[in-house]
Amino acid sequence: MKGFDVGLPTCEDWDLWLKLAKLGPLPVVQAPLVEYTYEATNKLSRDVTKLMLGHELVFARISAESGSDGHGRLSALHDLKRAELHIRVTGEAVKALRFIWSALSRSPSSEVLRRAAHLMGLMTAHGARL
C-alpha cells in the first residue's frame, strides 16, 4: 500500500486516512486536537479547480473499491460534499443547490435529508449567493 499520494492535486490527507482505515480500526480521540478553518486565504483548498479534481479522484477510488453496493448512497454523500465545498469555498448557492438536489434524487434517505438540511443552514450562515 502506497502512503501519502503527492500526485493528487488536493485531498492527499483524506486519501491517506482511507488507506489507514483499511489496515484496521482507527483510534478515536473525543477531545478536539486542532482547529480547522476554511477562511484562510493561502490554503491549497482555495483553488476550486484543484479541490474539485482531488475530490473527484479520491471518490473514483472509493467508488471503484466499493462496487455497486451502496453506490447510490455513496454518490449522494459525495454530491453533498461537493455542495459543501461550493458553499464554503466559492459561495455559489446555485451550484450547491444542484448538488444537494442530485444527492436527494440519488438517495432520498433520512441521512441524506438531514445532511442536506444542514447544508441549507450553512448556506444561509455563509451568505452564499444565487
Q: pLDDT band at residue 98, thresholds of 50, 70 and 90?
A: very high
Q: What is the pLDDT of residue 45?
A: 59
pLDDT of residue 117: 94
Between 73 and 129, residue with greater pLDDT:
73
pLDDT band at 44 (very low <50, low <70, confident <90, very high): low
Q: Is residue 24 part of a domain?
A: no
Domain membership flag for residue 110 = yes
- Is 28 a domain residue? no
Residue 112 belongs to domain spanning: 47-130
- The verdict on residue 36 lying in a domain is no
Averaged pLDDT score across all residues of the chain = 85
Residue length, the chain? 130
Per DSSP, what are the bridge partners of residue 129? Answer: 92
Total structural domains within the chain:
1
Distance separating alpha carbons of residues 98 and 82, to the nearest angstrom: 10
- The mean per-residue pLDDT over the stretch 25-51 comes to 77
Residue with cell 449522494: 76
First to last CA, the chain: 43
Q: How much is the pTM?
A: 0.71
Q: What's the rounded mean pLDDT across residues 3-14?
A: 88
Share of the chain above pLDDT 70, in %: 86
Select the more confidently predicted residue: 101 or 42. 101
pLDDT at 79: 94
Q: What percent of the chain has pLDDT over 90?
A: 32
From CA 84, how far away is CA 112, in angstroms rounded? 13
pLDDT of residue 127 exceeding 80: no
Which residue matches cell numbers 480500526?
A: 25
Asked if residue 66 belongs to a domain, the reply is yes
DSSP 46: G
